[in-house]
Structure 1
Amino acid sequence: MALNFFDQFMSPTFLGIPLIAIALMFPWIFYPTPSSRWLNNRLLTLQNWFINRFTQQLLLPLNVAGHKWALMLTSLMIFLLSINILGLLPYTFTPTTQLSLNLGLAVPFWLATVIIGLRNQPNAALAHLLPEGTPILLIPVLIIIETISLFIRPLALGVRLTANLTAGHLLIQLISTAVVVLTPMMTTVAMLTAIVLFLLTLLEIAVAMIQAYVFVLLVSLYLQENV
């Protein structure tokens, strides 16, 4: 029975076709298409306000050269936010609970920032591997440590997003199962457990939004070091 709880994280298939592709494309259906009118409706206005505020907040610490990434980072934020929240609905699948997908997003973005740093300012990029004022005896050790920490960054990005969403979904599954089991035996305890489940669902919604923001924020910080 314990293994069945993890079946929700398996990529579903239908007639041998993986449905993760549909789960990745489905969120964009909910976003209204911008129009050329002078006045937009409330939904478009709210969407534009959110995108503008997020883009301004994201690009605030970046140099002018990093502003070219505005469209890409904002699209990544909306994409992660959408699939994280939609994955909390019943009978849905959350693609970001798959480590392969998260690493597929983290590694290219991290590698792009590293390549940009080595191409535009190679001396500054390599200087990050050795802190200023390091004693001569510690130079080889610190270079190895900083190099390892540099290559761990994409792994940390992917594992952080996967672990947080997986843990939240698993807790919701466990507590909802407890509510179903306790309802015919102890109704009062089941009601209290249902309240805990409701609060946990609100927390998981917040985690889904925060983790999407943290992912994009860390990518922007890596970009800031290399532009």
Structure 2
Amino acid sequence: MLTNLFSIFEPSSSILNFSINWISTLLGFLFLPYFFWSSPSRWSLLWSKMIFLLHKEFKTLLLTSHQGTTILFVSLFSLIMFNNFLGLFPYIFTSTSHMTLTLSLALPFWLTLMIFGWMNHTQHMFAHLVPQGTPSVLMPFMVVIETISNIIRPTTLAVRLMANMIAGHLLLTLLGNTGSSLSSILLSLLVFSQILLLLLESAVAIIQSYVFAVLSTLYTSEIN
């Protein structure tokens, strides 16, 4: 049962043993030229406003004077949000519901931060292992706890995004599979509930991409 249930999230289309479902990750880039070459519209102005607000917020969280630093996190937010939204359309593979993609985004980013922080701000990184005001007796335990919490950060980032995306898609699929055995009244209620769930998933798509980008920004600000 579980194998059949979760098989809908597995890449199946392939050419020469290469899974072409992962190409859906790049579909979001097809929409970008529209914003550059078309005349200003409500959607392009809304997107520009969103990017500007994200730039200001990330700049505040980073607490750094390096220009262009926020471009990385705005791009990360855009990539995840595009893939989350595209996964809501029928017959489009949701790459963000797999640890393959989410961990590939979180692990190299966290590892780069750790290498940079320990090589350039060693004393500052050691200071983060012991919170200010910790009693001397508890210092060894706090070092162990802070080290473990630091190590599992990329996993928590990846699992949070994957779990939220796969839970909504799984619920939509389970409810949709029961439609053929329902009466007309129950079927209309099912369609209404599916629409509400789709709106909820649209909100989750934005929120989870925002959470991923903000947490990455906060992790970056700790090494400055």
Q: 1:64 to 1:120 in 2, by over 3 A?
A: same
Q: After TM superposition, list the pairs within 5 Å mapping 1:207-222 onto structure 2.
A: 207-222=204-219
In 2, distance between residues paired with 1:226 and 1:211? 24
1:96 and 1:165 in contact (8 A); partners too: yes
Counterpart position of 2:175: 175
Give 1:133 shift: 2.5
Counterpart position of 2:58: 58
Q: 1:173 to 1:33 in 2, by over 3 A?
A: closer
2:188 alignment partner AA: M
Counterpart position of 1:155: 155
Give 1:65 shift: 4.0
1:30 aligns with 2:31: yes
Q: 1:163 to 1:66 in 2, by over 3 A?
A: farther
Question: Paired residue for 2:185, among 161, 183, 188?
Answer: 188
What 5-or-longer segments of structure 1 have no aligned partner? none
TM-score (normalizing by structure 1): 0.90
In 2, distance between residues paired with 1:156 and 1:61? 20
Counterpart position of 1:106: 106
2:165 and 2:205 in contact (8 A); partners too: yes
In 2, distance between residues paired with 1:5 and 1:187? 26
1:7 aligns with 2:7: yes
- RMSD over equivalenced CA pairs, Å: 2.0
In 2, distance between residues paired with 1:78 and 1:169? 20
1:12 and 1:18 in contact (8 A); partners too: yes
Q: 1:164 to 1:66 in 2, by over 3 A?
A: farther
Give 1:109 shift: 1.2
Q: After TM superposition, list the pairs within 5 Å mapping 1:90-169 onto structure 2.
A: 90-169=90-169
Cα deviation, 1:115-137, whole Å, max 9, x if unaligned, reads 23223322111111111232222
In 2, distance between residues paired with 1:4 and 1:44? 41
2:20 alignment partner AA: L
Counterpart position of 2:222: 225
TM-score (normalizing by structure 2): 0.91
Give 1:4 shift: 2.3
Question: Paired residue for 2:201, among 168, 186, 204?
Answer: 204
2:84 alignment partner AA: N
In 1, distance between residues paired with 2:59 and 2:21? 31
2:184 alignment partner AA: T
Counterpart position of 1:85: 85
1:59 and 1:67 in contact (8 A); partners too: no
In 1, distance between residues paired with 2:67 and 2:212? 18
Counterpart position of 2:71: 71
